[in-house]
Structure 1
Amino acid sequence: MHRYKTKKLFVGDVGVGGDAPISVQSMTFSKTKNVKETLEQINRVYFAGGDLVRCAVLDVEDAAALKEIKKESPIPIIADIHFNYKHALRVAPFVDAIRINPGNIGGKDRIKAVVEACKDRNLPIRIGVNTGSLEKEFEEKYGRTVKAMLASAEYNYKLLEDFDFTDIAISLKSSDVATTMQAYRELRPMCEYPFHLGVTEAGTVFHATVKSSIALGGLLLEGIGDTMRVSITGELEEEIKVAKAILQDSGVQKSGLNIISCPTCGRLQSNLVKAVKLVEERTRHITAPLNVSVMGCVVNAIGEAKGADVAIAFGKEQGLVMRKGEVVAKLKESELVERFLKELDEEVAEYERNK
């Protein structure tokens, strides 16, 4: 699949852009000055499979706490800075990247000070452009539009270039899906900086999943995007889970199982919903990019099973377990899932041996 060529940056030891895998981010929602709670949330992101985490720095106490947090964080930390550029100067000596919103950070002298602090440690800067916080000059000229977002992004990355700084990532976020997609598409040919994808203020799990799947999945299929966050109100693990699913189901980056299951219908003669739920729960830890099929009736079950690495094809009160299209067992319904999981474990082991 084609992917736009972009400059490769490093946030800690995580590559962003170039030939690096597309990384998944989240952001803590605790008060950063609460070291214990913030570390707990960072660990949640890490164990869910997140690659990077962002922490807000609202005051001097947050900045001091972040230094302690960084010592114990299992993943690189991006400091999120708004309004007070001095907070960026305070945390630059120990964080892995700085995120600033040019619309509220202040004049050129303040941005230059942040740039110089980042140069000292080779820290990348993410320029975060949001429709909700555009610079006054661009909003007055263009309104809260794609043109305003592009003007802001171009002005700010060129400003950093004027300060001889090019370790830049850019995000162009709106709460509107179409606006978000158009902004990223139009900026992509204008520069080679890596893009951080996201739909901002996307809402709760349901709405954020839908919006992010359309916007981020669509852009990734066009070869646009180097790192991403699915913004969900209050749900760290869900952010990572949905982001990984978007990468997986778009075919952009395989990791974990692709579970194929049929919709419920009147042909079912088994408890398919229970079986699929159990398979999902028992296989969350698997990172091997395998295709598995759990199908509820004979109409499509055998056909799907032939294309899967491991499959269940339910019939009436019984069914088949298949591997690579071959039947390995015919069992009662109550025995199928456990045998399926046994075969899957063997398939995962074989994949790990051969990769």
Structure 2
Amino acid sequence: MSAVEKPGAPPNFWGDMPEEEYYASERVKNHQERFKTPHGTLFTQSWIPIEGPVKGIVCMTHGYGSDTGWMFQKISIAYAQWGYAVFGADLLGHGRSDGLRCYMGDMEKVAAAPLYFFKAMRDSEAYKDLPAFLFGESMGGAVTLLMYFQDPDGWDGLIFSAPLFVMPEPMKPSWWRLTAYGFLFGLADTWAVMPDNKMVKKAIKDPEKLKIIASNPRRYTGPPRVGTMRELCRVCAFFQENFEKVTIPFLTCHGTSDEVTAPESSTELYERAKSEDKTLKLYDDMYHSLVQGEPDENANRVLADMREWLDARSEKLFRSRTSS
């Protein structure tokens, strides 16, 4: 089941300009296709620099209810402008990929599907010798960390933007509610009946950007599904027990005023991971959406930190591989 786009909605967040013309103006080439995986068919996109050599590849995962298009791709386009080949896939149940809208009753499968696509891109002839990184925003951070645990030796680094590893108390579903639905032996798993905490309003600081993000015709706006909340609680508990198994270089960024994913998600990963190369960036008074939802001055500061971290590691890896 694919998303039904809302009638009358603008075709893109930038307006009516044809996609090819817009991407050319941003100095990137965009490609879209449906990609079959053992877990379902995904809608995928790539953003490739038009000019200059490619420094590495970055595989990006969006957050809950979102997709790889609309304003999430502002991050993808920025990374491509820095010289990286960027790939993204709408998660199962999201955007234009297969699945019941925003149902994620098996997070291991939700992670395995885009990982199948990302590995195909990473190992392709064009990119197999380049540094390869995973990027995850919000719930996409949880999916990204699950991908890392499924394929721990295939990546050179991880980048997180406000990842979901620890749920803030106001976002947690009540134990009694999950237990009550659990007594229905799975019949209620797909029901969209969990409390909706209006996450998008808690995520976006800039009111004009909130209007644009809220107008995404593919954004899921219904109540959370029972199985989705059950699984998010489960994987957050799993991360609490396995942060020490993270040994890869990573950068994690979080706003201190984030009410959607707790800043403790980033601080606990940083404190407990065994990685020798790890970086934590906390941004005072920033909300959840660090790039799409903050005023430009704040968003550019976050992007600059990401670029500095990524360039330093990709250049070091490239030198070591070409000299050996």
Instruction: Please indicate, yes or no, whether the TM-score normalized by the shorter chain is above 0.5.
Output: no
Q: Which has the higher helix share?
A: 1
Q: Which has the higher contact order (CA 8 A, sep 6+)?
A: 2
TM-score by length of 1: 0.31
TM-score by length of 2: 0.34
Rg larger in 1 or in 2? Answer: 1
